[in-house]
Structure formats: structure tokens, C-alpha cells
């Protein structure tokens, strides 16, 4: 195989580094590295640096603590080896990042090499994003224009007794602000008005060495004017965890990604491409699985991998939940059997000290499902991968204890109308255990390389989710990587349906595509024809389509949505919510306790309503996306049909923009708050209105009309129907209640905000030149005429004042006095 040169990128233009005595264009270089004239005797004696008081830990490097100083003893044969430096936040202050940054969050991942430069050891950042064959003429140019920056440098303090290792002090790497491993990004620095790092309160907490990795925890304390939670210390302290992992000497053959099958990927740029530019492509992230018996594998037999994927349970995992965790891990074996492997994924209990005295979750040789005693309501499935090849080296699934609470609440809210098991705060173990199992399976899916597939949930006919035989066989979606946690479509009387998600046919398909071993293909390019054939064989079947759910354009690719008809699914979901609300006091009350649980569940129920509404809003100006390549028939993008958009608007008028009397249950509200219901409904409805009147949605409606004429649901159609629905009292000569007054004010304020941009210096120039401005001006002028013509028809004084107030708001938006 031709060796390729890894290169960095334009960041190297800013980097200072060790030079050479000749240009790279001058042929053979005389490097400034390794040219020290000092002998070993010129350095300090090893025993004077690493004293008898040192606390040492042997591993990849040997770490030594001498008082407060940390030394790395680096074997010379590990210099210039590729290592992955992964920076994570180990502990964060309460409220940090608005509560969205959790312990365990990864902040950076980069390849480094420890190299010697005279009497120094440098840490260089290496990138494998750009590449070129060494034999190619362009190789020298790529190298010269992609120089590796130096992250850190330290003087050599000593050599060990047999001169096979160097000793350096590394305190400055972990106790100073080094941006590449820092956990405080620029945005949060600005939010919290961070001044500087306080070195007197920043220190190294621990350092541990393992055979293939080094783990260092260090505390960083920053002076901040406005720290999270307004703490009295005026500082932000966080604990960082730096993991340095030795990358494999033998590289796995990469697999080239395809956007039609969802995978986490790594970008590559090949400057040896025959195209008239660099060849931009991606490789997938996956574990290295090689059959023990390749000939048997070729014959179609199931074969065990040489090295299976093994997950250990955290010793802190409660014993009652361990069986569910293990099932969730090993559920993936069904998918790997499609790829020709048996026993590919193995779950193990944590070993005892007698069984494995060296076991540690920090050791990169062990992948662990960690059970974290935390109020965080989440679970994550991160992994560490080799950027050279995409090979996943290790992963730690993180389960936060209070995530149980999320699923308990969701089960009650979305299935309480249909099944008795959901009508309690103490969800039966069988149901909550099954939910935990599927959460773990979902997170393991991420750790195997699979991203979210939000399009999967639109593959099944909505009414099929009311069928026991269908849901028990196929689950709620074709992929467990979708967010489709509870079957809210099922209705009371739908006996035997499945309520909890499960693995589906897409998952088996994706694992086969990414993991099937192709022994005859000797390069990534040689695999492409086979991989393409597998995709084309499933083309046109929505069960095997992929969509990330990002962008908000495709209504068939949304979080928490179910079924192929979002309007029908949301109607079913709302019908169930309306049945649940009258029972919440009974289902959440505990003798001797206040109504905290009732308040929490009720609040989350309102979020469900908001979610069902947003699923429908996405159809307005929506565009279906079906990922295709140029050898496939049909287009990639199609506008949502006019009839479907009209149906969606009818739903929004009747459910989103009509006062939800069913939600305003006084039996609940009088137990949880003195006031706030009006504002809560206003917030929910305003959110839906803002989404509906979003400028990008309006632009898509305008573009659709231009392309499809009378076949299109136009922006004028939408705005006219919206106005008549929101101001129905005006057109029917009726009194307007407080909820509707708030909604109508929100509509006028949102529409007027577009027109006010005409008078702002920092306005969006593209918006000002679009048809959105005349549309909004026309709607405001039409509404003003209707208000002036009809306002005197009401006998209700407050309604009349309200109409006059709206006219004043419209005038302010139109700037009639200018």
C-alpha cells in the first residue's frame, strides 16, 4: 500500500515550529531535531528529579508526582508515534452552559506526536484530513503548506538509568490556558465575563497511566464577573479530563461514507485526485471486526470476530438494572449477524478485584457503560476513534441516574390514556426496564458509529402503529436511532400494541453496510461498487432511508415524530393528552407530599403538546428530501403537496391557535401555581407562530409558488388563512378572551417586526429585498382595514380597546407617522 502523508490545514500558517536547514523543495533535509550536542551527563541525574518521594504509575508513559510537580517519563520508542488526545469536561459547576453542558462532554479531539527537538520535547498536533502519496510530485507542496503546529514544549529534565526514556515536567500544559484542551469556549467566556485563569486555584488533581493511555485530571479556575448561578466566589471552576491514547500500529482499512446511509464520519481531502480539485470525501467511524475464519465467512457462515466489542458494566450500576443494560448492549448481535458475525457484541459484569485487579473504567482497553449518580436527565454514547482510518478504539456509554425520571414521565403522559401500567409514578419494573434497555441500545448504536436517523419514524403508516401484530414485529420505527420513545398514536382499546421503541430493519441494514467484511477489496475504492449495490437494492423503500432531522425542512425527518402522516399522528397524540389531563392529580399524588410531581409532569405534558404542533408546522413550506446519487431516477427534493399543507393549516387553526381549554384544568392549576396559565399558553402559541412565520419557511413558500404555480400552497394562501383563523372573533363579531388577545398581539408583533427592519441600520439586506416585506405589509394593511371596519360592532369594551391597540401596533410597524 502506498504510504500517505498526513497534513494539517491552514491553521499551520499561524504555527511556530522547529525549522530545518533546507527548504522542503531542496531535496533531503538536515533537520534541527535530535541534533543536541549535550551528552546524558549534561542533564540532571534521574534520581535527583524523580526522588524517593515520587508517587509513580507505570503504563504507556510512567507518570511521577514529586510534591506538586507532574513528570512524564516517555520511552524513546514512543516518540513520533500517533496518539489521540481527547479533552473532556469531567466536572462542571451547576448551571454551566445553561445546563446543556454535562460532565463527560467532549470539547476537543486531536492527534498528537511527542517529538524531540534538541533538548526539548515538543507536542505537535497532527492532522490526517489532507493527504497525498509520497511518490506524487504534489507531496512536497502539500507538506510545505500544511506544517504541524506545536501545542506544547518542555525542556528535557533527565534520562532514565538505561537511557531509554526522557523525563519532562508537564505542569504548564495542564495549569495554563492552552486553548486546544480548554473547556471554556469563547461564547461562554463572553457570557460569564471571564477575565483570566487564576493559576493559584488551578492545579493537577490526578494522573494515571495504563498500557495504552494516560489520564490526567486537572482543575481550571477562572475569574468571572457573572459566573453561572451567581456564586459568591466570583469564579468558574471546572475539572478537565485529558485522555491520551496510543493509536494502533496496524491501520484498519477505511470505508468510504455514503450520505444515503447514516454514519458518523471523518472528512478527507486527497490531493492526488484526477479531478480538477482535491477529492473531498468522508470515511465512516466503526470498530475493527475481522472474522476468525475468513473462508467460513466467505461461505456465508456466521463467524466470531477476532476481537469482539466488549462492554463492561460500571460497578456502580444497581444490580436490578444490570440485566436490562446487558440486553440493550447485546441486542445489536441481531444486526451483526446480518453482517456475518456472531457474538460480535458482548456485555460483561464488572470484574472483581480477584478476577482482574487492573480493571479500571479509565483504561482505554475497557469500554464501560457508566452509571452516574447525577440529577442530569440524559444518556450519551460517545466513542474515541482513529482519525487516520475511522477505527473506533473505545467508548464509554454514560447513563445518568435521573434519566429514569424522563421516561417515567413520558410514559405516563403519552401512554397513560391507553395502558394502566403508565398511570403511576412508580412505573412497573418490566416497563421501565424495557425503556432502559432500549435507551442503552440507542446509545450503543451511537458508539458503533450510527447517528440519529430522524427520517425512520416516517416510514410506517400512522395507523399501523395502532396494530398489535405490526408494532410487536416491527416496532415504532425502522430504527432505534430515531427519537420515537413512546407510542402516542395508539388509542384506548388498541389491545396488545407495543408502546416502547425497539431495533428495526434499518438498523440491521446499516450495520451490514458498515461492518460486513469484504476480503476481496484491497482498498476503500474497491469496496464502493458492492456498497452501492446494497443501497440500490433498497432504494425506494422508506424503511431504509436516512435523514438526520437537522435543518427543519423535511417534515418526514423530525425528532419525536411518529408515522407517515404528521397531522393524523398529532391528532391521535392530542386526543390522548386530553384524556390524561383530568387524571394527572390522581396519578401523581402521594399522601403527605406536595404537588411537585404534578407540576413537573404537567409542565412536560405542555411540551408534548408543543411538540405535536411543531410536527405539523413543518409541513407548511416543507420539502421532502430523499437522498440519491446521480445514477438513481427521480429528484432529491419535492415540495409537500398543496393538500397536505392546507390540511396542516386547518389543524393549526383548530388545535394550536384555539385556546386549549382542555389544558387549563383548574384542578391542576390551583394546586401548582397562583397564576401563570395565560402566559404559559401565550408562550406555547407564540413559539408556534414564530416558527410558522419564519423567514426561511416563507421563502420556501414563495419559491414553491414560482416553480409550481397553481399547484403550490402559496404564502398568500397561508397568511390569509392564518389571519382569518387567529382573528376569527373579528370576522364573527365576538368577544375576545385574554388568551386570544395575547395570541393576536403576538401575531401583529411578529409580522410588524419584519417591517421594522426597514428602519434599522443592521437589517438583513437579503430579507429587505425579498417578497416577504410586501407580503407582511399587505397583511398588516389588510388587517388594519378589517379592524377599522369591524371594531365598532362589539359591545365589549375590553375587546374594543384591544382592537384599537392592535391598530396602533400596526401603525408603529408600518411607520405611518414617518
Q: Kindly state the DSSP code that residue 216 receives in the 8-state scheme.
A: E
Q: For residue 321, what are the contacts with CB-CB under 8 A and spacing of at least 6?
A: 371, 433, 436
Question: Between the CA of residue 130 and those of 16, 124, 143, 275, what are the distances in Å?
Answer: 20, 16, 10, 15
Matching residue, cell 418526514: 556
Domain finish residue from 500, 532, 550: 550
Instruction: Give the side-chain half-sphere CA count within 13 A for 290.
Output: 8
In the prediction, which pLDDT does 30 show? 39
Domain contains 175: yes
Q: β-strand 106-117 against 83-91: which pairing, if any? A: antiparallel
Domain contains 565: no
Domain contains 609: no
Do 311 and 450 have their domain in common? Answer: yes
Q: How far apart are CA 59 and CA 78, in angstroms?
A: 12
Do 321 and 447 have their domain in common? Answer: yes
Count of CB atoms situated within 10 Å of the CB of 101 = 19
**Each residue's pLDDT tens digit, 271-302:** 555 554 456 889 999 999 999 999 999 999 99
Q: How far apart are CA 618 and CA 454, in angstroms?
A: 14
**Each residue's pLDDT tens digit, 614-637:** 999 999 999 999 999 999 999 999
Cβ–Cβ < 8 Å for 663, 606: yes
Number of residues written out for the chain: 818
Question: Between the CA of residue 138 and those of 20, 24, 100, 544, 803, what are the distances in Å?
Answer: 20, 12, 45, 41, 72
Do 481 and 366 have their domain in common? Answer: yes
**Each residue's pLDDT tens digit, 403-434:** 889 999 999 999 999 999 999 999 999 999 99
Tell me phi and psi for residue 150, to 5 degrees: -95, 120
Look at residue 22 and tell me whether its pLDDT is greater than 60: no
Do 223 and 301 have their domain in common? Answer: no
Domain contains 254: no
Do 115 and 204 have their domain in common? Answer: yes
Between 682 and 30, the higher pLDDT residue: 682
Q: Kindly state the DSSP code that residue 264 receives in the 8-state scheme.
A: -
Cβ–Cβ < 8 Å for 646, 604: no
Confidence of residue 597 (pLDDT cuts 50, 70, 90): very high
Q: How far apart are CA 691 and CA 656, in angstroms?
A: 12
Domain finish residue from 550, 579, 605: 550
Domain contains 103: yes
Matching residue, cell 416516517: 458
Domain finish residue from 187, 212, 246: 246
pTM to 2 decimal places: 0.88
Tally of structural domains, the chain:
3
Domain contains 485: yes
Look at residue 117 and tell me whether its pLDDT is greater than 50: yes
Q: How far apart are CA 285 and CA 449, in angstroms?
A: 5
Question: Would you state the cell numbers that stand for residue 792, as one nine-digit string?
Answer: 365598532
Do 364 and 486 have their domain in common? Answer: yes
In the prediction, which pLDDT does 11 show? 34
Domain contains 676: yes
Do 534 and 467 have their domain in common? Answer: yes
Q: Which domain does 759 fall in, by range?
A: 664-814
Do 75 and 201 have their domain in common? Answer: yes
The CA angle 196-202-207, to the nearest 5 degrees, is: 140
Do 333 and 222 have their domain in common? Answer: no
Do 689 and 810 have their domain in common? Answer: yes
**Which of 10-19, 151-160, 503-512, 523-532 is predicted least confidently?**
10-19
Tell me phi and psi for residue 684, to 5 degrees: -65, -45
Domain contains 616: no
Q: Kindly state the DSSP code that residue 685 receives in the 8-state scheme.
A: H
- Alpha helix ranges (H) inside 395-500: 403-415, 429-448, 468-474
Amino acid at each position: 500500500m502506498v504510504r500517505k502523508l498526513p497534513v494539517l490545514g491552514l491553521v499551520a500558517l499561524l504555527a511556530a515550529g522547529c525549522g530545518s536547514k533546507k527548504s522542503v523543495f531542496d531535496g533531503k533535509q538536515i533537520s534541527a531535531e535530535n541534533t543536541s550536542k549535550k551528552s546524558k551527563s549534561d542533564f540532571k541525574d534521574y534520581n535527583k528529579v524523580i526522588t524517593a518521594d515520587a508517587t509513580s504509575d507505570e503504563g504507556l508513559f510512567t507518570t511521577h508526582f514529586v510534591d506538586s510537580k507532574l513528570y512524564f517519563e516517555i520511552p524513546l520508542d514512543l516518540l513520533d508515534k500517533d496518539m489521540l488526545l481527547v479533552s473532556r469536561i469531567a466536572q462542571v459547576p451547576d448551571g454551566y452552559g445553561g445546563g446543556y453542558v454535562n460532565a463527560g462532554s467532549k470539547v476537543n479531539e486531536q492527534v498528537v506526536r511527542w517529538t524531540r527537538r534538541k533538548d526539548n520535547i515538543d507536542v505537535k498536533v497532527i492532522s490526517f484530513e489532507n493527504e497525498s502519496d509520497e511518490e506524487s510530485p504534489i507531496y512536497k507542496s502539500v507538506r510545505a503548506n500544511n506544517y504541524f503546529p506545536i501545542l506544547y514544549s518542555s525542556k528535557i529534565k533527565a534520562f532514565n538509568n538505561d537511557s531509554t526514556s526522557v523525563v519532562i515536567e508537564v505542569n504548564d500544559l495542564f495549569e495554563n490556558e492552552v486553548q486546544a484542551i480548554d473547556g471554556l469556549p469563547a461564547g461562554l467566556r463572553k457570557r460569564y465575563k471571564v477575565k483570566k485563569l487564576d493559576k493559584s486555584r488551578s492545579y493537577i488533581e490526578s494522573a494515571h497511566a495504563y498500557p495504552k493511555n494516560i489520564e490526567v485530571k486537572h482543575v481550571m479556575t477562572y475569574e468571572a464577573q457573572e459566573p453561572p448561578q451567581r456564586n459568591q466566589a466570583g469564579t468558574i471552576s471546572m475539572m478537565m479530563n485529558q485522555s491520551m491514547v496510543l493509536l494502533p500500529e496496524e491501520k484498519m482499512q477505511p470505508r468510504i461514507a455514503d450520505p444515503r446511509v447514516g454514519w458518523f464520519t471523518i472528512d478527507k481531502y486527497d490531493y492526488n485526485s484526477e479531478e480538477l480539485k482535491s477529492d473531498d470525501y468522508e470515511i465512516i467511524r466503526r470498530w475493527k471486526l475481522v472474522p476468525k475464519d475468513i473462508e467460513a465467512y466467505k461461505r456465508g457462515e456466521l463467524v466470531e470476530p477476532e476481537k469482539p466489542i466488549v462492554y463492561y458494566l460500571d460497578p456502580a450500576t444497581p444490580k436490578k438494572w444490570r440485566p436490562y443494560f446487558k440486553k440493550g448492549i447485546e441486542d445489536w448481535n441481531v444486526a451483526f449477524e446480518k453482517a456475518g458475525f456472531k457474538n460480535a457484541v458482548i456485555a460483561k459484569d464488572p470484574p472483581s478485584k480477584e478476577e482482574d485487579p487492573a480493571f479500571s473504567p479509565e483504561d482505554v482497553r475497557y469500554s464501560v457503560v457508566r452509571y452516574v449518580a447525577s440529577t442530569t436527565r440524559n444518556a450519551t454514547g460517545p466513542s474515541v476513534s482513529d482519525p487516520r482510518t475511522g477505527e473506533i478504539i473505545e467508548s464509554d456509554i454514560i447513563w445518568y441516574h435521573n434519566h429514569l425520571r424522563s421516561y417515567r414521565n413520558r410514559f405516563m403522559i403519552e401512554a397513560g390514556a391507553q395502558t394502566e401500567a403508565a398511570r403511576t409514578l412508580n412505573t412497573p419494573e418490566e416497563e421501565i426496564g424495557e425503556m432502559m434497555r432500549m435507551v442503552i441500545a440507542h446509545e450503543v448504536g451511537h458508539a458503533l458509529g450510527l447517528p440519529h436517523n430522524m427520517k425512520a419514524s416516517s416510514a410506517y403508516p400512522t395507523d399501523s402503529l395502532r396494530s398489535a401484530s405490526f408494532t410487536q414485529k416491527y416496532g415504532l420505527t425502522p430504527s432505534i436511532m430515531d427519537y420515537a420513545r413512546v407510542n402516542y398514536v395508539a388509542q384506548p382499546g388498541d389491545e396488545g400494541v407495543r408502546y416502547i421503541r425497539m431495533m428495526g430493519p434499518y438498523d440491521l441494514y446499516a450495520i451490514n453496510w458498515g461492518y460486513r467484511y469484504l476480503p476481496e477489496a484491497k482498498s476503500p475504492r474497491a469496496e464502493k461498487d458492492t456498497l452501492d449495490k446494497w443501497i440500490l437494492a433498497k432504494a425506494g423503500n422508506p424503511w431504509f432511508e436516512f435523514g438526520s432531522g437537522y435543518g427543519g425542512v423535511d417534515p418526514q425527518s423530525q425528532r419525536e415524530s411518529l408515522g407517515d402522516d404528521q397531522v393524523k399522528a398529532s391528532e391521535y397524540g392530542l386526543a390522548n393528552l386530553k384524556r390524561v389531563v383530568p387524571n394527572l392529580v390522581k396519578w401523581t399524588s402521594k399522601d403527605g407530599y406536595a404537588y411537585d410531581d404534578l407540576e413537573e409532569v404537567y409542565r412536560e405534558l405542555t411540551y408534548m403538546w408543543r411538540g405535536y404542533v411543531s410536527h405539523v408546522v413543518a409541513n407548511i413550506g416543507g420539502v421532502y428530501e430523499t437522498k440519491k446519487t446521480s445514477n438513481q431516477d427521480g429528484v432529491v427534493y419535492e415540495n409537500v403537496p398543496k393538500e397536505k399543507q392546507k390540511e396542516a393549516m386547518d389543524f393549526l387553526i383548530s388545535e394550536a391557535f384555539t385556546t386549549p381549554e382542555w389544558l387549563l384544568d383548574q384542578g391542576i392549576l390551583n394546586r401548582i401555581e397562583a397564576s401563570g396559565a395565560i402566559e404559559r399558553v401565550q408562550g406555547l402559541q407564540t413559539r408556534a407562530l414564530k416558527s410558522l412565520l419564519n423567514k426561511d419557511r416563507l421563502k420556501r413558500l414563495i419559491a414553491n409558488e414560482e416553480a409550481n404555480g397553481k399547484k403550490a400552497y402559496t404564502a398568500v394562501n397561508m397568511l390569509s388563512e392564518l389571519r382569518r383563523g387567529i382573528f376569527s372573533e373579528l370576522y364573527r363579531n365576538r368577544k375576545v378572551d385574554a388568551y386570544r388577545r395575547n395570541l393576536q398581539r403576538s401575531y401583529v408583533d411578529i409580522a410588524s417586526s419584519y417591517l421594522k427592519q426597514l428602519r434599522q441600520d443592521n437589517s438583513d439586506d437579503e430579507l429587505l429585498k425579498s417578497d416577504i416585506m410586501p407580503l407582511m405589509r399587505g397583511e398588516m394593511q389588510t388587517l388594519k382595514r378589517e379592524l377599522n371596519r369591524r371594531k365598532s360592532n362589539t359591545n365589549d369594551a375590553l375587546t374594543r380597546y384591544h382592537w384599537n391597540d392592535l391598530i396602533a401596533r400596526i401603525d408603529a410597524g408600518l411607520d405611518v407617522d414617518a
